[in-house]
Structure 1
């Protein structure tokens, strides 16, 4: 197996960051929202296990018959957008986004949430809004497919092979690897470190533990 850490030998031209579980802790709001949704649609909440990092549309596709999916998707969006209580910025996230913005490093948030949900959570936490935000509303196939990462890189004008991805879910990391992103950084907020090490070259508790520096508009990640 190739050494995943070798991908970090050179600085990255672009930075692609997941939102929930990577930059913000929204787990309380997510759990409240989906438990409420499950009650309304008669779904056992235990069936949601293993779905972290997957778009709501893809989750619902595996839970409900076709005739219910559109209504169910609209409803979970409505519930989640209205509930931004208890969403907090994870350690180091605000500082990293600010540093990337100040140094003009091409940066995108790439999330499995819809556009309205992503914007509500960014606004609620006061995070620096990067120039590009890719959501499930912008792609036909969200995570676990590579499309969101590919779109994020394209909108930044950066080859995916020159991008570092920072993500907390296995679904997101697999999608980023399939997209050809060179460096994969995992944070352990929602997934066990030993699982994440199967894919990521760097595994940290949160981005505050990530050692970085900017070199001429590029981000170097120290392994």
Structure 2
């Protein structure tokens, strides 16, 4: 209760959302693309750990020998670009983006892939979209959220980061932001270290005032 009270009592200068699993449901397309990639490169399923929320480049680096990094990264990137079937907005996502005046997306997708998935889902894209193409280090490094806060013109310590992956929550915390976790793709227990955990964005009401943005539970 303490963490919930602390978060719902706070006022934020802006909200930075992860995209896949937070604002949009791309899981079927992601699974199809990576499964096909793993089959083509004969990577056994047990080699895949908790890579959700990490950039494709980081995943490939953990699974493939150095001499195949660029080739295999290009292949999985193309597979993901070619498959946007069934990508939809998650509950509460469109309302949040339409309601909040200062928002950004910080995603582990590349720029091209982020644009394709945003278009496929129909969510309104905020002015600031930070992708893996914009940063040197991806989540769980804080760089994506620090850059998003910088481009929004806000102090990251007065930002709220909304995520569905443990790597994203860690990145948000490392950036100094408060964190709201949604359990759309990850078990609730694994996200318990976030400031607040909810089922999805439809569980949250947003309140905008001259002081900034606050939230409450529905």
RMSD: 1.5
What are the ranges of 5 or more consecutive residues in structure 1 without an aligned counterpart?
A: none
Farther-moved stretch of structure 1 (207-216 vs 22-31): 207-216
Match 1:218 to one of 206, 212, 218? 212
1:187 aligns with 2:182: yes
Q: CA deviation at 1:3?
A: 4.4
1:171 aligned to which of 163, 167, 174 = 167
In 1, distance between residues paired with 2:213 and 2:8?
10
Matched, 1:9 2:9: yes
TM value normalised by structure 1: 0.92
Partner of 1:58: 58
Distance (Å, rounded) in 1 between the aligned partners of 2:140 and 2:159:
18
**What residue in structure 2 maps to residue 124 of structure 1?**
120
Matched with 1:41 is 41
- Show the counterpart of 2:29: 29
Cα distance in 2 for partners of 1:64, 1:79 equals: 17
Alpha carbons 2:96, 2:206 under 8 Å: kept: no
Normalised TM-score (structure 2) = 0.94
CA distance 1:30–1:162, shift in 2 (3 Å): same
With 129-138 and 47-56 compared, the bigger mean Cα shift is at 47-56
Equivalent position SS for 1:140: coil
**Residue in 1 that maps onto 2:109:** 113
Tell me the number of residue pairs that the alignment of Structure 1 and Structure 2 aligns: 216
Runs of 4+ in structure 1 deviating by more than 4 angstroms, as ranges, are: 2-5
Give ranges in structure 2 of 5+ residues lacking alignment. none
